[in-house]
Amino acid sequence: MCKNDKRKRSSGPGGSGSNAGGHRPAASESVVWSDKMSEYLIDALLHQQEIGNRGESRFLGVALDSVIAGVGKRFGVTIDRSNIKNRLKHIKKSFHECENLFEKESGFKWSAVTKMFCAEPHVWREIIERKPEAKRWMTKTIDHYDRLLQLFGNDRERCTGSTADGNPKGMPAKRARKDPTKEKPQLKPSNGPELPIVKSLKEMMNENEVSISKSE
């Protein structure tokens, strides 16, 4: 009995055996994510994305470690990278379902107040006829859809290796060729009085007449 009790206490995140040697407490295999924890996870990952800690298909280790430390500090819950992965898998499942249903549909709008998709009754009827699975979203909520769009809206472009403009990843977008602006040459006399650049035909004829009369 004593051995079993001791083993049970040490296996938990706060057990006496989990902190031996100064190591960080082990994360629980199953973490209960509150709404506030999920909201913090999304915002923290958005911040890591903005500061460049996200690669082509995944977040860098430094980003995940920052989130782990933040969750522990704010909520007193010990998690690891697998806990983050499992939670994101659950969040992305609902997000991509909504994205696939409503992304290209007109007449729908997600409300930050109700956390639901809103549309006129006839719009709902029309989409349910084509996509019966959309019916449950008439009453089902999805939190933080606007922020999830920023976080996961480009996942498919990352997976296919293409950007939003259709160019392969890493290749700059083609720009329209523009000829360099040609400057008009300006004549500047090196010495002496400033001379007009263009003379009228009348002035040139008068000069010719004067030179001919002098020669005579």
| pTM of the predicted protein model | 0.60
Burial of 45 (0-12, 13-18, 19+ CB in 10 A): buried
pLDDT at 198: 47
* CA–centroid distance for 50 within its chain: 8
The residue segments making up the domain with residue 126 are: 29-155
pLDDT tens-place string over residues 74-100: 999 999 999 999 999 999 999 999 999
- Domain membership of residue 17 (yes or no) is no
- Domain membership of residue 198 (yes or no) is no
Residue 42 neighbours by CB distance under 10 Å: 20
- Domain membership of residue 35 (yes or no) is yes
- Domain membership of residue 213 (yes or no) is no
- Domain membership of residue 7 (yes or no) is no
- Domain membership of residue 36 (yes or no) is yes
pLDDT tens-place string over residues 142-193: 999 999 999 998 664 555 444 434 444 444 444 555 555 555 555 554 455 4
What is the arithmetic mean of pLDDT over 118-145? 96
Strand partners, 168: 162
Residue 148 neighbours by CB distance under 10 Å: 21
Residue 145 neighbours by CB distance under 10 Å: 19
- Domain membership of residue 21 (yes or no) is no
Q: Are 75 and 177 in contact (CB under 8 A)?
A: no
Q: Is the dihedral of CA 172, 177, 179, 181 positive or negative?
A: negative
- Domain membership of residue 182 (yes or no) is no
Q: Where are the alpha helices (DSSP H) in 51-113?
A: 61-75, 81-102
Split into its structural domains, the chain has a count of: 1
Strand partners, 141: none
Greater confidence (199 vs 136) lies with 136
Q: Residue 148: enclosing H or E segment and its boundaries?
A: helix 145-152
